[in-house]
Amino acid sequence: LGRSYHERVVDHYNNPRNIGSFVKDDLAVGTGLVGAPACGDVMKLQIKVDDSSGRVVDARFKTFGCGSAIASSSVATEWVKGRKMEDVLSIKNTEIAKHLALPPVKLHCSMLAEDAIKAAVKDYEAKLAKSNAGPKTIDG
Ligand code: FES
């Protein structure tokens, strides 16, 4: 990390919040796994959702990537917590980039975080829809 980085990037890079994983098969967990083709960096972001309130109650991430990607995912996990699902989807990479004062060449790093949030919500909803469809009957 060069000294041109904003102190918030350095802070989240040195002390990443909510690092780790939830069990993927947990019905309350949505997992988003996304990659940036340009640099090959990979980000996994997971949300834990309280079904009755529709709120994200917890989040985890694991990022194999640059400092800006790590900082972006760390910020993303903080921002999704306590929010309703629809509010979570309104988190924009531009807000994350602004918060971290990312330079233009690092914008795609924050884009990874937005994509990962969306993918996590999608995964959660797909699992929910599947479980609501009920158990399949076995014929014959
Ligand atoms: Fe690609 Fe940061 S350089 S995610």
Which residue in 43, 71, 97, 109 is the catalytic one?
Answer: 109
Task: Give the per-residue pLDDT at 81.
Answer: 98
34, 109, 110: which to mutate for ligand 1, most atoms within 8 A of CB? 109
Please name which of 61, 21, 29, 27 lies closest in space to residue 45, comparing C-alpha atoms: 61
Task: Give the per-residue pLDDT at 136.
Answer: 64
- Residue 66 appears among annotated catalytic residues: no
- Residue 39 appears among annotated catalytic residues: yes
- Do residues 116 and 33 lie in contact, with contact meaning Cβ atoms separated by under 8 Å? yes
Query: Which structural domains are found in the chain, ordered by start?
Result: 7-125 (3.90.1010.10)
Backbone angles phi, psi at 128, to 5 degrees: -65, -45
- Residues having CB closer than 6 A to ligand 1 are 36, 39, 41, 65-66, 68-69, 106, 108-109, 112
Q: Quote ipTM for the complex.
A: 0.98
Name the β-bridge partners of 2.
none
Atom of ligand 1 nearest to the CA of 105: 3
Span 70-89, pLDDT tens digits: 999 999 999 999 999 999 99
Span 100-131, pLDDT tens digits: 999 999 999 999 999 999 999 999 999 999 98
Span 27-68, pLDDT tens digits: 999 999 999 988 999 999 999 999 999 999 999 999 999 999
- Do residues 28 and 49 lie in contact, with contact meaning Cβ atoms separated by under 8 Å? yes
Backbone angles phi, psi at 118, to 5 degrees: -60, -40
